[in-house]
A and B are shown apart, each in its own frame.
Chain A
Amino acid sequence: MLSHEEGIRVVTRGLILLGIITLVEVAIALVGNGHVIHGLHLPKWVMYPVMIGFSLYKAYFIVYEFMHMKYEVPGLAKSVLLPTLLLVWGIIAFFQEGGSWRHRREQINEKNKENMAAPKPTGFNVTPADTKSFM
């Protein structure tokens, strides 16, 4: 059990840490999308990993400090945290699926344009020539 002073210290540290990380994340989003310095855009591959990393650290901090996972026995921590590794596969599989879906959409768009560009048939001469003789 933490003493009163230790408790306050944990709380203050958490507040400052989570607050600053959130501000940094928002700052990256705003600067990277050109809201702060006109014309400056950061590439997505720089912004995204940093923001995802910071968010994962926030999650770690909330679980380990605020939810006291640090003070639980290792077995409890493992039984809670290891199953979440399944999500790694979920993310890979479904994002792959989304990417493939988008590829199909692009293909359909291209094909639609091709049809529009092709010359229109000049007459309705698609039925066989002898069709009318039966009428």
Chain B
Amino acid sequence: MASVDTHVGHDVQQENWGGGAEPFKASYGKLMMWYFLVSDAFTFAGFLIAYGTLRFSSMSWPLPDFVFAKIPFYSGEAPLIFVTFMTFVLIISSVTMVRAVQEGHHGNKKGVVFWMLLTILGGLTFLGCQAWEWTTLIKGENVSVTRNPFGRHTEDGVYLDASGNETAETFKVGDSYLIHGHEHNGQVEFDFKKYKVTSGPDAGKVAQLEFGPKAFGALFFFITGFHGFHVFSGVVFLFVIMLNAASGLYHRRGNHYEMIEKIGLYWHFVDLVWVFVFLVFYLL
């Protein structure tokens, strides 16, 4: 080999094959974090596309601002206010994460620990909010993975009272309803209200409320649960890395606190996924 290699060729060979070169000028850990996030993005995208498909396939779908209209300490309707708060919690925790990474670049250990602690608090707040949201849906409104008492009317109509007479309560196509349930001997009993149809080919017929599309509960709990699990594991990783940073481990490694950057990528990704979960579940 050496007899045919020119001097320049040998240099190129050393440069490319001698080891120590970083593809894309990123360290192994950072690059692999990016590719993990790509695969995770596909997982979430698969779930969200499944949500879209099932929603498209249903004759009606519960209206988000009717389903998600509860806030703590207030009994009235406050559509989307609580999830907006949750979104802000995640945005703020993303911002504090950016600050932690910046402090890491400056080699400021105290700054890193302080901003990571705030990020962790943000993550825990988000998880607490999600726990409250789930409790409200499961305990208060009896939604489960296989049952969805939220629906929307497909015809105009008027509700009937117990003896079958028309009441003053009327509704139009597209109006939302929740079938109220109450606990009785450990079982939930639902009040499937009777109504008389006043529009369309079925006008005059008496019918009773039916559960909304079943897939709604399963999709909601599965997708927000999967995201919540990401937040939870993110909080665990953040906590471990914060302790490591506080112990001076990353300072001794002398690579500008790269670990903070990597967990930062993960944490921003969790916020990124929430942008789309928020869009499809609460806005559209």
Contacts and interface: CB of A to CB of B under 8 A. Distances in A.
B255 to A, nearest CB: 13
A58 B276 CA distance: 10
B263 to A, nearest CB: 12
How many B residues touch the partner, as a band?
35 or more
Interface residues of A, number: 52
Contacts of A19: 88, 91
B232 to A, nearest CB: 20
A38 to B, nearest CB: 14
B49 A87 contact: yes
A62 B264 CA distance: 11
Interface stretch (B13-21, B92-100, B183-191, B223-231): B92-100
A30 B80 contact: yes
A87 B45 contact: yes
Interface in B66-97: 79-80, 84, 87-88, 91-92, 94-95, 97
Interface of A: 1-2, 4, 7, 10-11, 14-15, 18-19, 22-23, 25-26, 28-30, 33, 35, 48, 51-52, 55, 58-59, 62-63, 66-68, 72-73, 75-76, 79-80, 83-84, 87, 90-91, 94-95, 97-99, 101-102, 105-106, 109, 113
Given A51-B284, A84-B45, 13 more contacts: A11-B102, A55-B279, A63-B272, A66-B97, A73-B24, A73-B25, A80-B38, A84-B41, A87-B42, A94-B49, A95-B53, A98-B53, A102-B58
